Every structure is written in structure tokens, then in C-alpha cells.
Structure 1
């Protein structure tokens, strides 16, 4: 496909209003009988033992996060008797194949082959081993130490499966000095068999922590933040011919500061789609690095830093104040809003009035002689919904400068997606403990300020900083790119506020197909207001430069999913059904929440809670999940000592 475009296509993300239900009120509990719909099968020896991340680890937060959420159960194709297969690695790094029998609702486990690793002296750290099934008999495998394997699945005379390594090679990462070759740990993102006859080959994507040490430059005017050392990740597109003598070829490498949340190679091999909270899709790695002749000594860096500082001083007040003006949360009956005022602000300085539809709030403090714009000022501003003004009130703690508004909802059980009718972009604080922490920070900070002879008239609100350093890094807009084989970004999405929620379960079936020059790839669920919007991702294989190579279409909605999933503070895995019947969230190590799709006109949906705890004294970690029967919605959950079959229907 010809896509020699200097400017990529802009792909809009447009929710289909006919698929939205503004009257939806919430989910009602649907009882789930664990006794009849859960089956447990112990893992054979030696079982699974995941290495713990040491407290003094030098891994970045994002690297640690990727290990916490790593799915250790890998989907396979159907076996020769039409049973679905999955794979996992035991504690001796051997591949075990799980065969799920659709008729008996049971599993059989076969140990295939051990994936050995050597040359450990050159490895600073390891990744978890990863795997991608290429067919019912062929696997692409990494052992977590930088070695890539092709494993053939065979069957012996005893009707038992075993594995044979038919090719192995080292993955050499991109480094500054091209004369050096370093094999580093990598993780498989996606892989497919492409082509026919003599041209058949394996095309796959892996990511690894970047081995380059140059300073990344992603803007024309780099700031001090751009010059800080950041953990970077390389995504490599790799090719292996599917016939001896094989051989490995890295086609291109792209780089970013995030591990991709979504990767899918197009079925015909034209390119791939990548979804991330960061910019991916540089033509080549060198484009985002300072060339050697541009920085010869530390003086040049100092000049760049000084220039950046001057630019920051010259910014307007509106550019500098990025902190949210308040934090807020809600219950089914009320809304609580907290403002940070200068310490010592008296009660008489607060002018606050409530009506059924509007809020009026101004602060007239004697120390605010310059009309500080950071102070709250809402002149008869319309609220998101009606309130009861007689039951609403405000309080102030002058010493620490904490102003709190308590708004009583007129319509109970109505969710507010924002405070005012015109959304000002302030997200709800779901965890009520953050309000207590916010107050504690104010008390701790203002105690020192009030005792100081140089006490400032006001201080910068800590709210914005805390939100930026949020432990789960939620709230970032996800962008999806179509990248061709040359590593060029040919199309990308453009829509603010669409945050990544989850992707669909892997499905080797009719979901990935080419029909009428349209190739369909796995769908994603994105946040739109309080809902979860399912977007189908497709690629136009027709050679036509007037058509965008990437299309994203709203095909289904899970009402209020963005709202309810945000309250799950310990969520580990989250996927939606390829047929859009449900979304499942595994929270912590003991239960899962299932949210079912429903008629678009209904006001309530169904929610099921699955409890995996069989023995309160023995709670094995939940470390993997896959869907093994798509028609009957059967989920397979992997723990450190067992496999659990979950029959959702």
C-alpha cells in the first residue's frame, strides 16, 4: 500500500449518540453461584513461583507496573480435536500447555519443553518470559533474558504433547554505538505469520527498555524536563523467515516513554496499530536524539537550560497555573468540593450562595490586593444538576485555608460527571482518603509557614502535583497510530479525553479477518465521560492514498463503565468480550467484577461478583486470565497453584 505521506491522516474518535443511554442509572447485583460455576484444577509440579521485585530495585515505576499487570497466561489456537489451548511458564521456565475440553469443561496440562537461558553475566535484569501462538503447532517464545525461540508442538505415540525447539537466536537491542551488539530482555507484544509459499515469514513486535544513553528531545524548544534522564522504551518490528536457515531481521525501531497499551499487526502485514499515552511512530530512532555535533560539552546543556528558564518566566499566568482549582467527590446524595485558600483567610472573606441551579462563590481577602486569579471566583455559575440549597452549606478552616462546600443533590442516585454545566476538566477524586491526605498536607505545610516571619501571602496548591504523580497514572489521553513497515506514522487519532480502559480478550477466529479490502483488528474500550466506548479498529488494505489506513468506529457501549472501574483501586486485569457481551475486572487476589451489556434503553444493567477464595487461609495470587470458550463465555484464570474455570453463562 502506498502511504508516502508527510502529514499523517487524522482519525476522529466520534461516539455514536444512538449507542449512548443518558438515562442509565447503574448496575444491579446478579448473584453468581461459585459452587456450580467454578472448577479448580491444581497445577502439576513444579508449579509457578514468580520472583519478587526487590525493594532496592533500580527499575523505574513503569517497569515495575508492567510486571505487576503482566498476564502470565497466553492464548493458543484450537488443538487437533477442536479444544482451546493456553500456555504458561512454570518455575523452571518450562512451557506448559493447557488443553481445555469444551465437552467435559475440564483441562489437561502437558509440559512441552524447557526454555534455557545462559550468558546471564551480561544481563542486568530480566523480564517475565512471554509467548505468542502462531498456529496450533508453532509458538514464538522469549525466555525473559534476551533469547527468542521457535517451538514446534508435536504429539508422541502415547497421545501426549511435547515441544521441540527448531530455532533460537539472541535479540540485539538498538544502542548508541552501532558497532556494539547487546542482547537484552524483551517482551512479545504481537506476532503473526505473513505471506504464502517461499515468502512466508513471521512478523512480530517486541518492546525492551532502551539501551541508548543520549538525551531525548521531543520538542523544538526543550525544557528542563526534556533534559532529565527518563526511562525510554523501544518497540521493534522484527522479521523471521518461516523456513531454514531462518535468521532474524529488525525492520525498524520506534521509541517512547510508555510501554504500549495496545499493539496489533495487520493480518496482511502492511503495518500495525499501536496505542499509547505517549508519542510513538518516529521514522527512526535517531530523530528524537540530539546529534553528537550539536552537544559537545556541558556548556551547551547549560545554555539550553537557561533558555528554557527564560521561556518559563515569560509565560503568561494562565500558562503557569495548571493545577486544578479544586478537588471533589460525590455520593449518591451529595457532592463535596474542596478549595485551597491562602492560610489565614477569614470567614468574612467568603461570599457563597446556593440556588437550585447555580453556585456563586467569591473570595474578598485583604491580602488579595492584586485579584489573584488562583482564588475561586464563580459568579452565578450553573451547576451540572439541581441541588437542594436549604440543605447545602459551606465551612472554612481559616488556619490552613481549607474551604469545603457540601452540595445536597436534588436527584438522589444521579451521577455527576463534572461540577458545572460547562465541563472545566476537573476529574472526580474517587478515593475519599485523598481528601483526608489533602487536609493533612495543608496542616503540615501551613504549620511551618504560619510560624515563619517570611510567610507568603499564598502558596501553590498541592492538588495538581498529587494528581500528576498519581500512583496508577490514569487520566492520560490514549492515542492510536497506524505505522507502516518503514516505521512512518501514516494515521493517528485526535480526540481529547478518550482514556484507555481495556482491550478485548485475544481471539483467534473471525475477529481478525479481511473482507472487502477491510482488515479488522481487536477492539478497544475507551473512556468517554462516564461510559466505556467500544471502538472497532480497521485497516483499509486498498491501495488508495485518499483513504485513511486506520479507521476507528464506535460499535458498542458499556454504560457507566468508566465510572465504576475507576473505583477499583486494586484492579489487575481488565478485558471485554470480543462479542461485547461483558467486561470483566479482576481486582486484587480474590474476586472479579463482571459488567454485562444491556438493552440500550434500560436504566439498569447487571453486575456479577465472582469470589475466588476457597480457603481464607490460602489465597494464591491471580496471575493470568484468558477466554477459552467464546460462545459460552468460559474464562480460564491462572493462579500460582491452580487453574480455575469460570462459566459466566
Structure 2
């Protein structure tokens, strides 16, 4: 059965329809740098790694990692396999990065080895890949302390083909310390007869302390699940409790096996039968109300009916059975003016009074596909009348100049275009391995991922029209699983015009967003702030109360930018030979 489709609900209070533009500010950004003792080696793609998915997964990897629990610290791995940590206490006196762990170099490295990758699992743990197929889980102690302690590996295992760590999280399950790690691989697919011949693999690994109380810790892999898809995910993260997974990608992912046992995929015939099953309910609507008829199992009396209705939610069921109709209504209704009636033909008839008359509902319950909308003749005639003016038998009826085409696609700018593939954001249940909520992203182009609150899932930033909207996943709120928490005005349009853009990010407190190019330059876009003095818009003749500033920073380096991270106060930029620290905000 297909997962219910959901939509992202924007918070209009976070949108600014009057935003004009960014004003270039010439204010200097204090910039400091540290020269590295050993270079950070950029791992180049091999001849066998020739696909676009290899480039997306490994060729654009961010080598710098900001510690979300301690924003003054960044971590990276140099060419000697040393994991180095730089903690900034005073910008003008930057110390040297200190070694906290070293990857074993005596192991035989795979010829298609990847860059080392890191994910901060908790305030005291981190997951590390050596790029050759080995996974480390490291106990780091309190990383925010002034004294640097060596990280202790409490788990180390060869996981097979080389991978990068996308995400990791830790939780306590039944009193057992458990860690969830998400790995990304691109594998040769022998069964793929068309296309590139490669498939994208996500492996979700659970590692738990199997030692008994009071015994020495013994961490082992307790569960392995594999998903396959045809495109590198833009976003992938495990829920904080380890009971689900969220993936945003151009092409869908499906679970293929658990602990080495294949998961049987539903046949096309079974899917067709399920799609053509009789609806659970039928519904009609007028400009004033909704009428629905819900099928009831045989032998049910009126006393067994369970009905609950609020302004925004409905639940219809029978005692002892799962709800027949449940969820968030498409729009608000008036519960006091709504009724239900039990019919002898074993159906329940609902009449819901719309709180706002006029708008047509495309669905009764958001994401529910168990019902069928029956359109009345009156409603069909009304829709036809409203759309008549949009159609014509004459191609040029609305075009006074018949020598010109009715629409010229060349008038669109490059940054107005979107990929042809339709992306989706999916939540998978960790027990059934099936998608429970799916959001069709459509033209909402993915921009970047950022950790806002380390105890929650990473946020993802999407383009909505010209703006960039930041979405915080809320897996504990199934009816409203993605919350709009911040807006960066016009950033969606601005970033699309940067042809040399490599990385994008924002401050965890949303005070600014930033883009960087492959070489030297970084762009900072600040949120609107009150102006000093009086400023007028000459064209409109009105006073301007706030101005959004844009700043440009140029690095004194000819090396490629390999890493790019933002804290509330600073931008951290990594090249092969230096770490640059840009003081963007003051406390």
C-alpha cells in the first residue's frame, strides 16, 4: 500500500512578502587562520567512480565537522590519518589543532578508498570511517573541556565495501546504551542492465553494549538493515530514538534486507489489487459542508461506534477495531454544527460544517487514500465555469501579437529552472520498514543540511519560490512531522545564481546564511536588522525600517575549499593547508 502523501506547511509569520533585496556591506570581516602541520588530502575520484552519483556522494564531501554540542570546536582528518580538533577560545590567538585519535595506517587500503568521514553521535561519542571500510565508535569524553583527551575506540569493525558516515545518534533502549549509524555506499549492481550499472546503498547499523551490568563494555552490531535506491540522498538521518529513518532523494529508496535476510517486495499484481480495493468511505462537498459515508463492519451496533471530532482532527472507528477514518482534516470545521448518523445499511453518515465557506477541499483527511471523492453535477458545473476563461480553441487568443509565441521559455533565467526529477522526503518506520509519510518536494530544491539542536534530527533547507525555508523534523508528531522554523529571504534565488557554489550552510540561531565557492570567496547573507537613522525607498517613497546585509569575504589562499561550517559567531573554512576562522557575529 502506498504511503500517505503529506505536504509541508509553511508558517506565514516567518515569511516576509515585503523583502526587497540584500544590500552589499563593505564592513570588513575579521579573518584569522592557522597553518596546518600536515596537509588535508582531497581524495580524488578514481576512473571506476565515474557517475554523477559518485560525484554527489564523494566528490563534494565536506571535510570539516562542526561539533554541534560545542560550537567552538571543529574536527577534521589530515593526510596522516590523524583526527585533529581545533577549539577557538580567542580568535586573535588561535592555537594549533590537537590530535585526538589516529586511524591505523598499517591496514591494507582498498584501491577505491574514500575520504575519512565523521559524525558526532552524542556529547561523548563519535562515529568515524577510515574510508577503507572500517567503522570506529569512539568515546570522546566531554569534548568541550579545555584539556584535550584522546578519543578511545570501544568498537572497531570492518564493514565491507568503503563507505562514508552520513549520520549517527545514541539513545538508551531498555537500559542498554545503543548507537545508530547510517552508512552510504555506491555499489556495482550486477542486475542493472540499463543506466550506469551502479546503485546507491544506505546501511543502517545498530551497535549496542552487550555486556551485562557492572561488566566491561562490549559493543557489538545487533542489527543491520539495507536500503537501495538510484540516487544519492540529499538528506538521510535516523530518528533520535532509533525507531525510524528519514530520507530525501530524487528517486525512492526501499528496504531490501535485514541482517542478511532479503525482505520480500510486494508483487505488482498485489499492489494493483490493493490500489483497486473498495474505498472505506465516500465523500462529497459543497461550498458550505462535507458529507461522508463510512462503511461499518457487519454486526456492529450504534453503541460500539467511536466518534471524535475537533476543529482540525477527526477519528471514526468501532470498538475493538483500528480507526476507519483518522487524522488531520484538510481545513477547519465547526464541531458544534457537525453531526453523524448511524444507518441500517451498515454505514455511518457524517456531515461536517466548513468553518470557511467556499474553498474546495482536495482531500478529506490529509494523506488519507482510503476514501473516494464523489463530485456532484453542481460542483462539476461550477468548476467548469470558473476555468472556462483559461481555455480557448485559439492558440493566440490572449496574445495580441500573433507573430510571437504565446510563451517564450527563453525569458526564464537559469536560476528559475528546477531538475526534471521529482524529489520526495520519506519517513520509514523502523519496525515494518515501510514508508509512513511521504512529502512530494516537487520544485522545492534541496539546499543544505544543518544541526540546529544536537538532541534533535538535523534540519534540511529547501527552496520555496525565491526563499530558502528551514525545516525541523519532528518524528514524535506524526500529523505534523516537519516544522518550518526559519526563513532566509531570497536565498533560494541567490544561491541558484552562484555557478561556482560548493557548500552552503547557516548559523544554528538563524542569524545568517552563507555560501562558499570552490576557491577563496565566501558570501554571508544576514537577516534583516533595524537601520540606524532614517532611510527611504526612493521609488516607493516609503521609509525603510530594516535592511538585510550581504558581505563577501576573500581568503588569502589559492587552495580549494574542502570544508565549510558555521556557528552562531564564526565561519570555519578548511583548505589543504589552512583553517580560516571568520568572525561573523559578536556575543
TM class by shorter chain equals: 0.5 to 0.7
Aligned counterparts of 2:165 and 2:256: Cα–Cα separation in 1 = 21
More helix per residue: 1
Alignment of structure 1 residues 376-395 onto 2, 5 Å? 377-381=395-399
**Residue aligning to 1:32:** 27
Aligned counterparts of 1:108 and 1:572: Cα–Cα separation in 2 = 26
Aligned counterparts of 1:143 and 1:289: Cα–Cα separation in 2 = 34
Cα 1:258–1:500, aligned 2, differ >3 Å: closer, same or farther?
A: same
**Residue aligning to 2:115:** 128
Aligned counterparts of 1:571 and 1:20: Cα–Cα separation in 2 = 25
**Residue aligning to 1:202:** 179
Partner deviation per Cα, 1:7-44 (whole Å, 9 max, x = no partner) = 4232212334444334433221122314xx1111111x
1:141, distance to aligned residue in structure 2 (A): 0.7
1:187, distance to aligned residue in structure 2 (A): 0.8
1:20 is aligned to 2:38: no
Mapped contact 1:145–1:186 kept (Cα < 8 A): yes
1:257, distance to aligned residue in structure 2 (A): 1.4
Partner deviation per Cα, 1:394-419 (whole Å, 9 max, x = no partner) = 8xxxxxxxx899xxxxxxxxxxxxx7
Alignment of structure 1 residues 454-473 onto 2, 5 Å? none
1:106 is aligned to 2:94: yes
**Residue aligning to 2:523:** 593
Cα 1:476–1:199, aligned 2, differ >3 Å: closer, same or farther?
A: same
1:427, distance to aligned residue in structure 2 (A): 9.1
**Residue aligning to 1:480:** 425
Cα 1:533–1:135, aligned 2, differ >3 Å: closer, same or farther?
A: closer
**Residue aligning to 1:68:** 59
**Residue aligning to 2:533:** none
Which among 92, 107, 111 is matched to residue 80 of structure 2? Answer: 92
Which among 494, 504, 507 is matched to residue 440 of structure 2? Answer: 494
**Residue aligning to 1:533:** 469
Cα 1:151–1:539, aligned 2, differ >3 Å: closer, same or farther?
A: closer
Aligned counterparts of 2:113 and 2:49: Cα–Cα separation in 1 = 12
Aligned counterparts of 1:168 and 1:499: Cα–Cα separation in 2 = 37
**Residue aligning to 2:38:** 46
Cα 1:7–1:89, aligned 2, differ >3 Å: closer, same or farther?
A: same
Kindly report the root-mean-square deviation, in angstroms, between the aligned alpha carbons of the 2 structures. 3.7
1:131, distance to aligned residue in structure 2 (A): 0.9
Cα 1:247–1:496, aligned 2, differ >3 Å: closer, same or farther?
A: same
Alignment of structure 1 residues 242-253 onto 2, 5 Å? 242=209, 244-253=217-226
Aligned counterparts of 1:33 and 1:13: Cα–Cα separation in 2 = 38
Which among 165, 168, 182 is matched to residue 191 of structure 1? Answer: 168
1:377, distance to aligned residue in structure 2 (A): 4.8
Aligned counterparts of 1:599 and 1:272: Cα–Cα separation in 2 = 38
Mapped contact 2:38–2:577 kept (Cα < 8 A): no
**Residue aligning to 2:412:** 428
Mapped contact 1:477–1:500 kept (Cα < 8 A): no
SS at match of 2:119: strand
Mapped contact 2:425–2:441 kept (Cα < 8 A): no
Aligned counterparts of 1:39 and 1:584: Cα–Cα separation in 2 = 18
Which among 503, 512, 528 is matched to residue 449 of structure 2? Answer: 503
1:643 is aligned to 2:576: no
SS at match of 1:162: coil
1:623 is aligned to 2:568: no
Mapped contact 1:132–1:141 kept (Cα < 8 A): yes
The answer for unaligned runs of 5 or more in structure 1 is 1-5, 172-182, 216-225, 292-370, 383-388, 395-402, 406-418, 433-466, 468-472, 514-519, 542-546
**Residue aligning to 2:329:** none
Normalized against structure 1, the TM-score is what? 0.60
Aligned counterparts of 2:191 and 2:545: Cα–Cα separation in 1 = 55
SS at match of 2:83: strand
1:192, distance to aligned residue in structure 2 (A): 1.0
1:198, distance to aligned residue in structure 2 (A): 4.3
Mapped contact 1:281–1:481 kept (Cα < 8 A): no
Which among 138, 150, 166 is matched to residue 137 of structure 2? Answer: 150
1:554 is aligned to 2:484: yes
Aligned counterparts of 1:230 and 1:85: Cα–Cα separation in 2 = 41
1:238, distance to aligned residue in structure 2 (A): 0.3
Aligned counterparts of 1:259 and 1:603: Cα–Cα separation in 2 = 43
Aligned counterparts of 1:105 and 1:71: Cα–Cα separation in 2 = 26
Aligned counterparts of 1:64 and 1:522: Cα–Cα separation in 2 = 23
Q: Which runs of structure 1 show a deviation greater than 6 angstroms over 4 or more consecutive aligned residues?
A: 287-291, 599-604
Mapped contact 1:283–1:488 kept (Cα < 8 A): no
Aligned counterparts of 2:399 and 2:551: Cα–Cα separation in 1 = 41
Cα 1:227–1:12, aligned 2, differ >3 Å: closer, same or farther?
A: same
SS at match of 1:64: helix
1:241 is aligned to 2:208: yes
Mapped contact 2:205–2:221 kept (Cα < 8 A): yes
Mapped contact 1:476–1:499 kept (Cα < 8 A): no
Mapped contact 2:43–2:115 kept (Cα < 8 A): no
1:272 is aligned to 2:239: no
Mapped contact 1:110–1:162 kept (Cα < 8 A): no
Cα 1:102–1:283, aligned 2, differ >3 Å: closer, same or farther?
A: farther
The answer for unaligned runs of 5 or more in structure 2 is 212-216, 268-392, 531-542
SS at match of 1:539: coil
Cα 1:139–1:287, aligned 2, differ >3 Å: closer, same or farther?
A: closer
Aligned counterparts of 1:431 and 1:265: Cα–Cα separation in 2 = 32
Mapped contact 1:530–1:559 kept (Cα < 8 A): yes
1:61, distance to aligned residue in structure 2 (A): 1.9
SS at match of 2:16: coil
Aligned counterparts of 1:74 and 1:144: Cα–Cα separation in 2 = 16
1:379, distance to aligned residue in structure 2 (A): 3.2
1:205, distance to aligned residue in structure 2 (A): 0.7
Normalized against structure 2, the TM-score is what? 0.66
Partner deviation per Cα, 1:459-506 (whole Å, 9 max, x = no partner) = xxxxxxxx9xxxxx84644321111223221111135322212222x2
1:51, distance to aligned residue in structure 2 (A): 3.4
Count of matched residue pairs: 436
Aligned counterparts of 2:67 and 2:16: Cα–Cα separation in 1 = 37
Cα 1:495–1:211, aligned 2, differ >3 Å: closer, same or farther?
A: closer
Aligned counterparts of 2:63 and 2:158: Cα–Cα separation in 1 = 22
**Residue aligning to 1:350:** none
Cα 1:138–1:282, aligned 2, differ >3 Å: closer, same or farther?
A: closer
1:552, distance to aligned residue in structure 2 (A): 1.8
Mapped contact 2:248–2:424 kept (Cα < 8 A): yes
**Residue aligning to 2:158:** 170
More strand per residue: 2
Aligned counterparts of 1:211 and 1:289: Cα–Cα separation in 2 = 21
Mapped contact 2:22–2:550 kept (Cα < 8 A): no
